[in-house]
């Protein structure tokens, strides 16, 4: 029988490499609705630029500093990342992020849930910075 609830701690979650190279700790999932994860980059690290095929995300910065570049069609922008900043990554948006002088930590909701078995969800694209991964 399936449990109706899921409870996880950040400290107990495994650390895996996201397709962009960042360290990700997958957390809770509501099947068919969304998933939640914690991402981090060490000082000076730069993720690979990617675009998602089917998922969109909402990010919230919990610690550190850095920058996020996003491009959708002809619209592109770079925003500063610091604690308290919340941003969206709609499906089909190219994006890349980097840490500044301190460890960058972000929590994110992915809708629908991240397709764990997919090797094609995140496609590399050209971004403004040279990735460190």
- Residue 25 domain flag: yes
Question: 112 exposed, middle or buried (CB, 10 Å; 0-12, 13-18, 19+)?
Answer: middle
Q: Tens of pLDDT along 51-73?
A: 999 999 999 999 999 999 999 99
Which residue matches tokens 């997958």?
Answer: 26
pLDDT (tens place) for every residue of the chain, 133 residues total:
567 899 999 999 999 999 999 999 999 999 999 999 999 999 999 999 999 999 999 999 999 999 999 999 999 999 999 999 999 999 999 999 999 999 999 999 999 999 998 999 999 999 999 999 9
Domain that holds residue 97: 18-124
Tally of domains in the chain: 1
Select from 44, 43, 37 the least CA-distant residue to 19: 37
d(CA 129, CA 69): 9
d(CA 95, CA 113): 19
Residue 34 forms beta bridges with which residues? 30
- Residue 74 domain flag: yes
- Residue 95 domain flag: yes
CA 7 to chain centre: 21
- What CATH number did the domain enclosing 80 receive? 2.60.120.10
């Amino acid at each position: 029988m399936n449990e109706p609830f899921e409870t996880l701690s950040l400290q107990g979650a495994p650390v895996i490499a996201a397709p962009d190279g960042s360290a990700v700790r997958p957390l809770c999932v509501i099947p068919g609705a969304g998933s939640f994860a914690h991402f981090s980059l060490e000082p000076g690290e730069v993720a690979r630029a990617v675009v998602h095929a089917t998922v969109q995300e909402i990010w919230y910065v919990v610690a550190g500093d850095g920058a996020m570049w996003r491009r959708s069609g002809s619209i592109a922008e770079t925003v500063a990342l610091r604690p308290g900043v919340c941003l969206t990554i709609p499906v089909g948006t190219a994006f890349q992020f980097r840490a500044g002088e301190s460890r960058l930590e972000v929590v994110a909701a992915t809708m629908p849930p991240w397709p764990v078995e997919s090797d094609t969800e995140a496609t590399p694209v050209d971004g403004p910075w040279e990735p460190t991964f």
